[in-house]
Every structure is written in structure tokens, then in C-alpha cells.
Amino acid sequence: MAVPRADAQGAEALAELVEWQRARRVQFPIIAAHPDLAYLDSAATAQKPQAVLDAVHAYLTTSNANAGRGTYPWANRTTSLVEQTRDRVKRFLQDPAPQRSSVHFTSGATEGLRTIARDWLPGLLADGDEIVVPVADHEANIAPWLEARRQLARQGVHIDVRPMPYQRASGDYDHTALAELAGHRTRFVAVTHVHHVYGGDMNVHRIRRAVGPDAVICLDAAQSVGHLPVSMAELDVDFAVFSGHKAMALPGTGAIWARQERGPRFGPAGWEGTPNTVGIASLAAALDWLDAAGTDRIERWTVALAARFTEGLRHLGAYEILGCQSSLAADSPVQRRQGIVTFRHRAVDSGDLGFILFSHGFMVRSDQHCQGSAGERTGSVRVSLHVHNTVEETDRLLEVLATLG
Ligand code: PLP
């Protein structure tokens, strides 16, 4: 049976959600104040809705104090805020067993992944064990695991790092090759939920099937949290890590969700110090905003917009679209593009293209996107979409790109 494409389904989604989208767009003060600019770089950091700005202001003007220390009302309120936000993160991630998981605040996905590699992974591994590292994903999800291997080697524990196999054309993981590569010594697998360059949903549920029930899976959810429903009830992973600033909270905020069923119990080593209380206040408000808006609708909107844009770009012969080629329907068994589209002009340098696009009011990312060394060799332009982006913006971008063909 032919798989329905998201551009057919997408037209329907864009029509159905247009009023809903307009009502969300106006809630972003920076977007509303700059109607002449199109922010197309949400994969780098997300803009903040008014509700998040209000929550930060309210916290700083009513309760600002340290957490877990004082006994006066501001301190108590701050302590409750931090504890309640841990539970809020679990609910947001649809945690099926919150009594058996934990949430640790970090400064972002990078620190989250590094903390797991530094404080927890060495306790899992013995001499001769193997780990799988996604070598064409974000550098933040590669370097910490390699550093853990170096640290262990200094103690005489030798770990075999297996590069995650990829299907180069689509930027997807090669699940068949992974199943062949993974054996009984494969204790840990680092994966990404949505690829920050190729835009594809990496089909994480298939990783579990490929590596079997005993390996620990650590999910880098930096590009999925805030963009689509991320459900710990559906994904059989042991860790999920994300950046608050990509999910509409303030910079310097992020979290590790740890299920702690396979391997030793997770807990960051040593004294943790004062948490980023203002960031945590912003995170609670951001997750409330996202749940109220509906991450399922945000996903439908951005997937449909990306599908329309990708189809338009495909018709402009001068551009090469990287990675995920398919904008497929939600129930497709193969890889599906989320709201990220990365491309190159066949003749114009990507850095120059970024400047040209800004001269037309488009803010895009144009470089190598912090991809690991097994990734792309040359730069590209990345368009990453969120709920405030419109059909007019992406159609206008296609018109400008067409003039450069
Ligand atoms: N992982 C992925 C997939 C990312 O896209 C990013 C940032 O772009 C990170 C990790 C690192 O996030 P942060 O810089 O917020 O720590």
C-alpha cells in the first residue's frame, strides 16, 4: 500500500489549525514586535511566550530566594517550586511510573549528557563492555561518551566504542546493521530523538528492538521536547535529556529524566549547589504553555509546514536537501521529517546564503550545526520551525530561494 505523504495530509492540517496557530503566534512578544522578520532558528533556541516572561517576573518579584535551605515563606515557595517542577517534567514526559523515576535539573542537554557520562556510566561498565555512540549526531551526544571511555581506560577498564550505523542517504539510523552489531556486551546506547540537521524522527522504538531488552538507552530529546509529544510510556528508554531553552524556557535550564531500572541508580555525584531557580520557574511555565497549546498540534503544524516547504524546495533544482527525504504521514513505518529542513545551494556558499536570506528578513542557521565528525563535511542552511511560523513565511522564503536558482 502506498504510504500517504504528509504534504497531502499537511494541507489539511494547515487549514484546520490556522486559527489555532494565529492565536498562539500573537503570544510571542518578540515575534509580534517584528512582523518584518521571520525567526526560522528554533532548533538553536526557541522564542518565549508572554506566559513565560510573566512567570519569571512573578517569581522574581514575589518569591526569589534559595531552594532547600531557608524556612521563611519565600524560601519555602522556592523549594516547592523546584520540587513541583520535577513532577511537572515527569507529567510533561508522560512518565508511566513517576514514583520510580527521578528528574535532575541541568543547564541544558549538553550538561545533562555530560553528567550521565561522568557520574553514572562508569558504574555500569566493566572491562570489555561495548557502548554505541551516534557519531553523526550532535557533538553534545558524542564527546561525553568518548571522554568516559578515556577516563575508564586510565583506570584500566577498556571499553569498546561502536559507531552507530547510519543509512547515509536519509540520515536515519540503520536498525538492521545495529541489530547485527549489538551483542551481549552492548551495555549502553546513546541515541537522538529528532536529528538536529537531517530533521528526521529517528524511530527510537526500533532501537530497543535492535539492541534487546537489557541495554541502557539514553535519549537526547533536545529537538523533540516542546515540538511533539514525548512519551516515556511509549519509548522504552532509560534516560531522556533536554534543554529548557529549546522548549521555551530561559537559557541555562534543562533536565535529565532517569528511570533507573537497568543499571545502578542515577544521581549526580557530589554537592549540587544552588539550582537555577529562575530558570526552573520559566521551565514550569513553558511546560504549562506547551501542554495548553498541545504538543500534538504543534507537531502537526510544524510537520505540515516543513512538508510544504520541502516539497517547494525539491522543485527548485539549485538546492540539495540533506538527510531525511520523506515527509511522510504520522503512521508511516519509515522515517518521518519533523520541523527541520536543511539544504545547500549547489553554487552559493551556505554562509553567504545565510547573509542573503537575512537581508530579506529570514533568520536561519548556516554552518555545520555542531554535528559530529562523521556528519556533513561542508556547511548548510537549516530552517527550523515552531508554532509561531506561518505558511506565508515559508512560501516567501521559497520565493527568495527561487530567485537565487
Ligand atoms: N543535542 C541536540 C540534538 C541539539 O540539537 C543540541 C543543541 O542544538 C544539543 C544536544 C545541545 O543543547 P544545549 O546547547 O542546549 O546544551
Q: Per-domain residue ranges for the chain? A: 8-49+294-403, 53-293
The one-letter amino acid code at 34 reads H
Q: How crowded is residue 379: how many other Cβ atoms within 10 Å of its Cβ?
A: 17
Q: Which residues contact 346 (CB under 8 A, 6 or more apart)?
A: 318, 319, 320
Q: Is 259 in the pocket of ligand 1 (CB under 6 A)?
A: no
Q: Are strands 160-163 and 336-337 parallel, antiparallel or unpaired?
A: unpaired
The one-letter amino acid code at 359 reads S
Expressed in angstroms, the distance from the first to the final Cα of the chain is 36
Q: Is 220 in the pocket of ligand 1 (CB under 6 A)?
A: yes
Q: Which residues contact 336 (CB under 8 A, 6 or more apart)?
A: 6, 200, 201, 303, 324, 326, 327, 328, 329, 330
Residues of the chain below pLDDT 70: 1-8, 325-335
Ligand 1 centroid distance, CA of 304 (Å): 24
Q: Is 192 in the pocket of ligand 1 (CB under 6 A)?
A: yes
Q: Is 138 in the pocket of ligand 1 (CB under 6 A)?
A: yes
Distance (Å, whole) CA 206 – CA 335 = 11
103: left (phi over 0), alpha (psi -120 to 50) or beta: beta
The pLDDT assigned to 357 comes to 98
The pLDDT assigned to 290 comes to 98
Q: At what angle do helices 50-62 and 277-293 cross, to 10 degrees?
A: 150
Ligand 1 centroid distance, CA of 109 (Å): 6
Ligand 1 centroid distance, CA of 76 (Å): 32
Name the grid cell of 105: 535539573
Q: Is 337 in the pocket of ligand 1 (CB under 6 A)?
A: no
- CATH number (3.40.640.10, 3.40.50.300, 3.90.25.10, 3.40.50.1580) of 53-293 reads 3.40.640.10
Using CA atoms, how far residue 182 sits from 150, 160, 209, 219, 240, in Å, is 21, 12, 11, 17, 21
Distance (Å, whole) CA 290 – CA 282 = 12
Q: Is 365 in the pocket of ligand 1 (CB under 6 A)?
A: no
Rg (CA), the chain: 21
Q: Is 140 in the pocket of ligand 1 (CB under 6 A)?
A: yes
The pLDDT assigned to 306 comes to 94
Distance (Å, whole) CA 87 – CA 377 = 42
Output the CATH code of domain 8-49+294-403: 3.90.1150.10
134: left (phi over 0), alpha (psi -120 to 50) or beta: beta
- Which mutation among 42, 370, 371, 386 tests ligand 1's pocket best, with the greatest number of atoms within 8 A of CB? 370
Q: Is 224 in the pocket of ligand 1 (CB under 6 A)?
A: no
Name the grid cell of 148: 568516559
The pLDDT assigned to 211 comes to 96
Ligand 1 centroid distance, CA of 110 (Å): 6
Q: Which residue is closest in CA terms to ligand 1's atom 4?
A: 222
Q: Is 41 in the pocket of ligand 1 (CB under 6 A)?
A: no
